[in-house]
A = this chain, B = another copy of it.
């Protein structure tokens, strides 16, 4: 074994890239895998870009590519990823026939400014984010490192049955990447699916073999269109899109609780208007709904959409509400979860029997698709003593968890 997964994690951590802009990260993954003699693939069969809402524009991606090369990524792989999109698949084949596994490793970071506090390990140890407004505040940097480490181990010793397909997935945050890879065909022929997540408020050494209770979720973007007008000279000629979005926000937040299942609702961002003395002609907000019951989730999405449409009409504006991403509930298969618990115990880890996620992950779409075709799978949670909540500027993982995840997945695959 030559790869240093901790060092890899730190390098990825220092260069965080947000949804569909994981150019450097994916190019580095490709470079490392190629160095292992493997044959990573991008483009056709891996990612379908049609249907992605708010895919970054060319200028942004060109800048990302430039930055990737400037920070040490391989220029040829950067060009490929820039062209094909930041998703990558690689297969490692075992020495015996057997099932096709798919393991998901998500690669994206968040638009958060990372903590500079001395108590924050990445700051103290010198691998804090070097990119503006980006941070690996959800542990995906660790996932990438585990994926690379596992690929090396399986290549070094192919004593396992079947094939393991590694899915390096962009845009998990916002729930856009999995569906684009599904649309691209990345999951074809897969019999077993596992995704692993570090942290999730579990103590180091604790493992949940099969998470349940992931929220189905839909992310929405609402664009309000009004009419601009000088706020002193002719306010009556305006139609106030900012006011419509404000009213829409309050209507979304007023959605009722459900007595039959747990739900969530949020308006996360709002941008509106160009100048203090102009009746605002535009506004754009993003909202999300979640439920532990997929049918309720659909109903909530319909109601939130109606809430935004009504608010627009109320202020004489138009609105277009567009789903931008989402995921479904997570139903880990008990057999796979049991196997994982056994491996955890063998490794001296503590296996939790009940694992409510409390969040969403679009790995649920992969899992549901595999299950729909008769396959099985699970969502594994690996404790990492995270000192601050996910999505917080001070989030971090105890790097000893990387080995836990790596060992666990290796045993699962080798056990068949």
Contact = CB atoms under 8 A, between A and B. Distances in A.
A306 B267 CA distance: 21
Nearest to A391: B230
B313 A277 contact: no
Task: Name the 7 nearest CB pairs between A and B, nearest first.
Answer: A310-B314, A310-B313, A246-B246, A268-B276, A231-B266, A269-B273, A253-B254
A2 interface: no
B315 A266 contact: no
Interface string A299-317: 0000100111111111110
Contacts of A257: 235-236, 257, 262-265
Interface stretch (A63-71, A278-286, A366-374): A278-286
A288 interface: yes
A358 interface: yes
A133 to B, nearest CB: 9
Given A215-B232, A306-B316, 5 more contacts: A235-B256, A242-B270, A243-B253, A251-B315, A314-B314
Contacts of A155: none
A35 to B, nearest CB: 34
B242 A269 contact: yes
A232 B314 contact: no
Contacts of A110: 275
A249 interface: yes
Contacts of A217: 232
Nearest to A112: B274
B270 A275 contact: no
A250 interface: yes
A96 interface: no
Contact of A256 (B251, B274, B279, B309): B279
Nearest to A303: B316
A392 interface: yes
A355 interface: no
Residue among A247, A264, A287, A359 with most chain B CB within 10 A: A247
A173 B112 CA distance: 33
Interface string A214-231: 010101000000001111
A315 B249 CA distance: 12
A56 interface: no
B278 A268 contact: yes
A235 B254 contact: no
A212 to B, nearest CB: 15
B256 A240 contact: yes
A415 B379 CA distance: 51
B287 A276 contact: yes
Residue among A254, A270, A272 with most chain B CB within 10 A: A254
B315 A313 contact: no
